[in-house]
Amino acid sequence: MALFSKRNKEAFFNPLSKDNPVLVQILGICSTLAVTAKLEPAIVMGISVICVLALSNVIISLIRKTIPTTIRIIVQLVVVAALVIIVQQVLVAYSYDVSKQLSVFIGLIITNCILMGRLEAFALNNGPWASFLDGIGNGLGYTIILVIVAFFRELLGSGTLLGFQVIPQWCYDHGYMNNGLMILPPMALITVACIIWVHRSRNKDLQESSN
């Protein structure tokens, strides 16, 4: 069993584009709208999701043979919830400012459908290593979209990136204005839709047939 067999590679790379959780599976949209008004929270949120997703995938994969099928969802929830609380506590202890910024959103990782989806669809049927790769891959796929959306929203909505002013003052002097609508959730949805549009037009095999 090679560490990077074709199957494992697929588990890692597919979610980045061909099987992206946000763009193709349309999962985790709720948090995509919530945390992408600024770039920094989006990045931290992405990293947190990667950690929680990879770890919960591994744990569920390790105990998958012992889990009674009737209560497997509950078991998955407990594992995810415990990990999220740990992430939250660690952030409060060692990265207080970030934890303040993310506040409720960390807790909301629990409700991110990507997590339950991956646990159900992958970790329950695969070994720990493949599950780990799958978790990292899906987490990254989610993070990439988060960062792209947050990039446009912060740039056009606030004129800053990571809190630094990037749109020069003379633009404002000549009548340019930040677009307040970009900061509101509806524009996140439209931005995501635009990304999906670009993504589908470049991947013909993802397009649904019209009949």
Partner 1 sequence: MAINKNSNIYQIVYAAVMVVIVGALLAGIYMALKPQQDLNKANDKRKQILSAIHVQGLSDAEVEGTFKKYITEGFMVDEQGNKVEGQSLDAAFDVDMKKNLKSDKRQLPVFVAEVDGEKKYIVPVYGAGLWGPIWGYVAVNNDGESIYGAYFSHEGETPGLGAEIEKPEFQKQFNEKKIYMDGEFKSIGVMKAGQKPTNGAEYVNAISGGTITSRGVQTMLEDCLKPYDPFFVKLQGGNGDKADTCHAKADDCDKNDDCDKKKCDNQPDKAKAEPAACGMPDPEAANN
* CB burial readout 114-129, b (16+ within 10 A) else e: bbbebbeebbbebebb
Distances, alpha carbon 5 to alpha carbons 11, 53, 119, 130, in Å? 10, 21, 21, 10
Amino acid at 48: S
CB 149 within 8 A of CB 156: no
Amino acid at 157: G
Instruction: Report the distance separating Cα 91 and Cα 100, nearest Å.
Output: 9
Q: Which residues contact 94 (CB under 8 A, 6 or more apart)?
A: none
1 or 104: CB nearest partner 1: 104
Contact positions with partner 1 (CB under 8 A) in 84-143? 85-86, 89-90, 92-94, 96, 100, 103-104
- Does residue 166 interact with partner 1 by CB under 8 A? no
- Does residue 176 interact with partner 1 by CB under 8 A? no
- Does residue 183 interact with partner 1 by CB under 8 A? yes
Distances, alpha carbon 104 to alpha carbons 45, 65, 109, 115, 151, in Å? 11, 34, 9, 17, 21
Rounded to a whole number of angstroms, the minimum distance from the CB of residue 123 to partner 1 is 16
Q: Choose the binding region for partner 1 from 13-21, 33-41, 45-53, 112-120 (rule: CB under 8 A).
A: 33-41
- Does residue 180 interact with partner 1 by CB under 8 A? yes
74 or 194: CB nearest partner 1: 74
Q: Choose the binding region for partner 1 from 7-15, 17-25, 60-68, 191-199 (rule: CB under 8 A).
A: 60-68
Number of residues that bind partner 1 (CB under 8 A): 30
Contact residues toward partner 1 (CB under 8 A) are 37-38, 41, 66-71, 74-75, 78-79, 82, 85-86, 89-90, 92-94, 96, 100, 103-104, 157-158, 180, 183-184
